[in-house]
Chains A and B, each alone.
Chain A
């Protein structure tokens, strides 16, 4: 407990080997937590679904629950709607967030500050509140319908309780993170490079395609993989805004576990969800690794 070594003045950067344990100790806690709360449950889930007793009671390698998942049309539909929702969200996020971040990067003054505040705002809105606000605004006889009605226009086809409900909610929820990541990527684009391209006669589209996009492709990849990871396993918005069936994997897993009391199939669904997420995660890891290699 007491370090009684007589202290010589310590250099600012201590290259002495004896300080290494302190560094290791500092990372030990997060590493331990990740191992305990993330890695171990994953291994546990995989082993529990693969290595378990079969009908005769003999414990051994058993793929039944996976065979059931992929031969069950209901489960397949749920997986498909999850992939569809994720893809739609990714496309819409890019279409919405790229123009916003380009605007914020290349304009100055008060207005962009307000736009930025608006774009970051969803970050501070809990998704349950977002869901109820959505129902009030876009739901049947909601605010949009009332406004349309007051000018004599027909009602909208409400996205509430259809697959588009979660898509709209999730896109809005993920705008801040995507804009922030894209904006930091756009910081890498030098004004001189754009001016140089303009000098030789490049139009706006050419500047975007040949100068800006190659510089931020990495950020786009990171932003999309972050958003996709969150959306694939989202729960609250699909639960409150989506249809009863098909349902996304998050509500499906939760329901299988809690309401159907079927932990084996719930864990199987979780492992399958995890496998898809790890594929998206690899994109992220690869782009980070490529970035550091530079």
Chain B
């Protein structure tokens, strides 16, 4: 009996001491903030958003935590669901980047705050094209554009639609490169643009749940033909860089004349001098290359729910939305009418009129695998 008492109290002490530092973690007035984005986003929050928000809201601070990747955010959301069931503190208040549909059942479980009905003063400024769910707040976006070396190609000659682009690529062999679709979104969305091209330029033909093997093979097969057709005219007779950065590097070293790029990455590269200031940017006018918005969610059962909603409202303010353009190189989540006019003019080239997107879900696997099997090989690179 004595021994059992000892075991129980020992186990209690161990469990208690393990919990102790975490208990002190979730404090009133400290917003526990998580992101799955790259380090440039974390830097932006550390240097711009956090100081501005804390100055405007004395007594509230933000604890910025890098959750790693999307899977990291989902596991914290699962923790919040478990906490909701047991009525405990989820120790999370704000996800900088999340999909309100994930993990499955999160909205039904009531862990995400309904942003639409939360009464945010800036909510009606949000670009209606970007809204996907009432439970998530699109506050920044980026889109894939074509960046080109304006010393080799004049803005007047830059291709403005897919057919011109293909004609230009074939007329200038070796001067275009895009990265492998699974290794970075710039090449990934170029491949998705080819899929749109091969299927009647209709982004609505692809939804997150309409993948079937038959439809997939048919729709993707036509896109692989388009991409195989241009492959011999690409850099090094059909080489594909291994990421967004490597494509920019090839452009910067003057190896290629044109490459697809993320808008925020290319503006940052120009800003940092990696690419020259006269680097040309062009968007296809028949259908833009796909892009996407980053959406934030607020945890409904978090200790700092109300402060987090204030933060959500704050990131839609003109101050932060302009900073997203000037400092981050992304584009705003609010409609362009709510951006300072001089910025609107300066960034006119990347203003998206339409924002085609391509669903993830079951489509990702077949696109990634199909591209590797059908487009990447089948080229005699020594010819």
Contact = CB atoms under 8 A, between A and B. Distances in A.
Interface string B232-255: 000010011111001001100111
Nearest to A163: B381
A142 B253 CA distance: 8
A139 B253 contact: yes
Contacts of B381: 162, 243
Contacts of B182: 255, 259
B255 A140 contact: yes
B51 to A, nearest CB: 32
A77 B365 contact: no
Interface residues of A, number: 23
Q: Is the interface of B mostly helix, strand, loop or mixed?
A: loop
A58 to B, nearest CB: 23
B193 interface: no
Interface of A: 74, 77, 135, 139-142, 158, 161-162, 239-240, 243-247, 255-256, 259-262
11 contacts: A140-B250, A141-B254, A142-B253, A161-B240, A162-B239, A255-B372, A256-B369, A260-B368, A261-B364, A261-B365, A262-B365
Contacts of B373: 74
B365 A135 contact: no
Interface string B363-379: 01100110011001100
A259 B253 contact: no
Contact of A244 (B249, B250, B255, B372): B372
B196 interface: no
- Give the size category of B's interface with A: 20 to 34
B364 A259 contact: yes
B180 interface: yes
Interface of B: 180, 182, 236, 239-243, 246, 249-250, 253-255, 364-365, 368-369, 372-373, 376-377, 381
Contacts of B377: 74, 77, 245-246
Q: Which of A77, A135, A158, A245 has the most CB of B within 10 A?
A: A245
B147 to A, nearest CB: 17
A140 B253 contact: yes
Given A74-B372, A244-B239, 14 more contacts: A74-B373, A74-B377, A135-B246, A139-B249, A139-B253, A140-B236, A141-B253, A158-B236, A162-B381, A240-B242, A243-B381, A244-B180, A244-B376, A245-B377
Nearest to A239: B242
A161 B241 contact: yes
Contacts of B246: 135, 240
A262 B240 CA distance: 23
Q: Is the interface of A mostly helix, strand, loop or mixed?
A: loop
A240 B249 CA distance: 13
B27 to A, nearest CB: 36
Nearest to A135: B249
A243 B239 CA distance: 7
Contacts of A139: 249, 253, 255
Nearest to A258: B182
A240 B243 CA distance: 8
B376 A259 contact: no
B368 A255 contact: yes
A280 to B, nearest CB: 27
Contacts of A141: 253-255
A258 to B, nearest CB: 8
Contacts of A162: 236, 239, 381
